[in-house]
Amino acid sequence: MKISINKDYDKMSRAAADLVVEQVKAKPGSLICFPSGDSPAGMFKYLIEDVKAGRVDLSQCYFVGLDEWVGLGKDDDGSCTKFLYEHFFTPLQADMARVKFFDAKAKDLDAACLDMDAFIKLHGPLDMMIVGIGMNGHIGLNEPGTDFNLYCHHAPLAQVTVEVGQKYFKKQTALTEGITLGLKYLQEAKTAVLLAAGAKKAGIIQQALDGDISQHIPASIFQTLPSSVILLDEGAAGDLAH
């Protein structure tokens, strides 16, 4: 586990984009998992700039979306999939045959999980899995108490996730369940990357990286991942023991 503390969110975002660029230059056909949300938005901006400037070619990569709110999809405001389209795949003009999202509107969510597992098995293993961290230590929508050895799965959302998740919606939205890549994929990824920015994340980062390894703090799994990289800004790193 390598911890990199960056001066601010912008520097952290540039560092995250650099990790992706290095990965793709080493293996043009990499399979990469991206999260949605505030944490990776700056990284996506830099990656788009890098592609347009000719610094990297992402056209041979395969991509998967980390998670989704059950019942929502790419046409729904606030969905993880729509976020990734708007912030990355549409401006990238990506070949969407190389991109896989969860069908979170499927009648059979177990089948939707198996469909994602099959895509990863076909094109994987994951070369890079990039995640953020929730205020309760969740990774993707792997909530506290989730077994570390699950692959794709769906499960009820924690109340804090439902409350914090409202920031992505213009009006109050009922969120009950999430569908997500499981933590087993994080263990199997060649490189696992955690992004966190802002002083509001300092407490949970300290618990995850300095505290006990426990299913109660899913992000604590990073302590067990030797090839992982933790990218923080100074705010998020503020409570760590240095």
136 is catalytic: yes
Picking from 86, 90, 37, 97, the residue whose alpha carbon sits closest to that of residue 61 is 97
What's the CA gap between 38 and 28, in Å, rounded?
A: 27
Q: Which of 50, 68, 103, 138 is catalytic?
A: 138
41 half-sphere exposure, CB direction, 13 A CA radius: 9
123 is catalytic: no
pTM for the model stands at 0.97
Q: Which of 68, 136, 154, 233 is catalytic?
A: 136
Per-residue pLDDT of the chain (242 residues; tens, 9 = 90+): 999 999 999 999 999 999 999 999 999 999 999 999 999 999 999 999 999 999 999 999 999 999 999 999 999 999 999 999 999 999 999 999 999 999 999 999 999 999 999 999 999 999 999 999 999 999 999 999 999 999 999 999 999 999 999 999 988 888 999 999 999 999 999 999 999 999 999 999 999 999 999 999 999 999 999 999 999 999 999 999 86
Q: Which of 103, 127, 143, 233 is catalytic?
A: 143
Inter-residue contact 193 to 2 (CB < 8 Å): no
143 is catalytic: yes
Name the class of domain 2-233.
alpha beta
Q: Which of 50, 67, 68, 127 is catalytic?
A: 67
> Where does residue 183 rank: exposed (0-12), middle (13-18), buried (19+ CB within 10 A)?
buried
108 is catalytic: no
